[in-house]
């Protein structure tokens, strides 16, 4: 029997990208997307910590979901509930304290470990709190297959920020600046175009700080990366966001 996953996303384009990749990560486990949280076997709230009252919005959603989780349990089934993203990264312990029925709390750098987290919850090993910054880049562990993107697609090339502006939480929730390798980016872009994308928006918390390793062993900046992406047959438009 096919299982269902419902992912609700708040926040920036990076979160939209991350949610799509979470769906890709759990697809091999038999989870197919659903728009109805009440029907899901796995519900993931992918959160943003920038927006006003972000934490309270999350707890309101969790409160609305709780009766559906209980009803599924009473019927002999199970609904796993997960909180991901920047609120999870910043306030993971508080989420577990206020909503102990949440099975998994994990930050934006660890969602590639979802299969292991789901396995732990399924075997009854207790709730998961995973807000570390793992040494291995998550992008290296993500599946190559992407959900069909449509005409326009997002592509993360850089994460984190080293600016530490007084008003911004990003360095604390997304970590230090990290850039993917040029070849990995080009490979993913080519797969997106082959799947039907004609416009790609390149994403980064501080995208103009991109400094990825090029195929020639040198460090490439954003401009050189764009020149390479523009050579992909079938790709008609490139955008980027967000620059510092």
Report residue 64 as tokens: 């609305």
Per-residue pLDDT of the chain (244 residues; tens, 9 = 90+): 789 999 999 999 999 999 999 999 999 999 999 999 999 999 999 999 887 688 889 999 999 999 999 999 999 999 999 999 999 999 999 999 999 999 999 999 999 999 999 999 999 989 999 998 876 678 888 988 777 779 999 999 999 999 999 988 889 999 999 999 999 999 999 999 999 999 999 999 999 999 999 999 999 999 999 999 999 999 999 999 988 7
pLDDT recorded at residue 166: 92
- Contacts from 231-238 at CB under 8 Å and sequence distance 24+? 232/186, 232/189, 232/190, 232/193, 233/193, 234/193, 234/194, 234/198, 235/189, 235/193, 235/197, 235/198, 235/199, 235/200, 236/198, 236/199, 237/198, 237/199, 237/200, 238/199, 238/200, 238/201, 238/202
What angle, 0 to 180 degrees and rounded to 10, lies between the N-to-C axes of helices 114-122 and 13-26?
60
pLDDT recorded at residue 145: 76
Identify the structural domains of the chain with CATH numbers, from first to last. 3-130 (3.40.50.12160), 148-241 (3.30.750.210)
pLDDT recorded at residue 135: 61
């Amino acid at each position: 029997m096919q299982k269902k996953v419902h992912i609700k996303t708040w926040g920036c384009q990076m979160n939209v990208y991350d949610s799509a990749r979470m769906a890709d990560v759990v697809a091999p486990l038999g989870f197919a997307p659903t728009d109805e949280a009440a029907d899901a076997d796995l519900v993931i709230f992918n959160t943003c910590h920038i927006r006003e009252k972000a934490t309270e919005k999350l707890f309101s959603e969790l409160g609305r979901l709780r009766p559906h989780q209980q009803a599924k349990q009473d019927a002999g089934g199970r609904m796993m509930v997960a909180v991901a993203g920047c609120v999870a990264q910043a306030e993971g312990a508080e989420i577990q304290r206020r909503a102990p029925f949440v099975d998994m709390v994990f930050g934006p750098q660890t969602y590639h470990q979802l299969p292991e987290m789901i396995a732990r919850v399924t075997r009854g090993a207790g709730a998961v709190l995973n807000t570390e910054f793992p040494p291995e880049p998550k992008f290296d562990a993500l599946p190559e297959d992407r959900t069909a993107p449509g005409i326009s697609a997002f592509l993360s090339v850089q994460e984190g920020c080293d600016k530490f502006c007084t008003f911004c939480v990003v360095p604390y929730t997304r970590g230090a600046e990290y850039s993917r390798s040029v070849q990995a980016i080009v490979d993913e872009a080519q797969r997106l175009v082959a799947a039907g994308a004609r416009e790609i928006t390149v994403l980064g918390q501080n995208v103009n700080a991109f400094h990825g390793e090029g195929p020639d062993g040198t460090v490439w900046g954003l401009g050189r990366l764009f020149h390479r992406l523009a050579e992909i047959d079938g790709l008609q438009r490139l955008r980027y966001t967000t620059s510092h």
